[in-house]
Amino acid sequence: MSNSIQDRLRFSWSAAGLAFPSRASDGRKPLFMLRKMMPEYVWDLVHLEDNAFTFVEVKTVLDGTTVGGHRVADEQQVLNQRRALKFLNVMVDSLASRLGKDLALELHARVAFEEALEWGKFREGQVGIGGTTHQPPAAHELDSLFEQGIEALRQIEHPFEQALGYYFWGAMNQFFFDGNKRTSRAVMNFLLLQAGYFYLSVPGRKKDEFNSMMVQFYDTKDATAGMQFMLECYRSWD
């Protein structure tokens, strides 16, 4: 990977030991499996956010039935993730869709609806990340950082590497008040699905591993181990 690309993204990784998977054998299969596995993927997403809904309860909510004994905000989070995944399906099917700010804003508007301080727009204040020394950039830097980063990401040739690069870059810069990792994973999966790969879900059972990996990345600005972790989470349905 060109040092100039990593310099512009402000973090590093070594792709030498990363084994990127093959594309799906049938180009229709990734979106079919996304629709089929949506309840599990939604549960994975909310479990990583310490949402108390069980898989059965998530499926019940997605089937249109309210589940008692939970915070309204937790149910909203479940519905938001389904909304984001359905939108992702539509965007991948649209030939006009491409990597850029509009895509990130559209996905965040669904991922963090009524959950973040603001949704569908870049933050206008400072944020912090607990448990790490990493300090996200100031709000006034975000537009220029995003433009510069997207230009660098578009130069990454391998689509899987580009998708993973977007995830760690988006999570590091914290473009939004909340929902940054979820939005970055949504964009990551947009790139994967558009390139013919299956949806990459971080299993809910790997929450502690995932959180430790992210803290290590924030502190070191080296995404090599993080990319390896994400590749281990990838599931091919061929």
- pLDDT, residue 1, reads 58
| Region for 123 from its dihedrals, namely left if φ exceeds 0, alpha if ψ lies in -120 to 50, beta otherwise | beta
Out of 8-12, 67-71, 103-107, 190-194, least confident range: 67-71
What does the block give as tokens for 80? 């938001």
- pLDDT above 70 (res 155): yes
pTM over 0.85: yes
Convert the pLDDT of each residue in 222-231 to its tens digit. 999 999 999 9
77: how many CB neighbours lie within 10 A of its CB? Answer: 23
Q: Average pLDDT, whole number, for the chain? A: 94
Convert the pLDDT of each residue in 167-180 to its tens digit. 999 999 999 999 99
Domain architecture of the chain: domains with CATH: 26-123+137-233 (1.10.3290.10)
39 — pLDDT class (breaks 50, 70, 90): very high
DSSP assignment of 100-164: SHHHHHHHHHHHTTTTSSS-SS--SS----TTS---PPPGGGHHHHHHHHHHHHTT--SHHHHHH
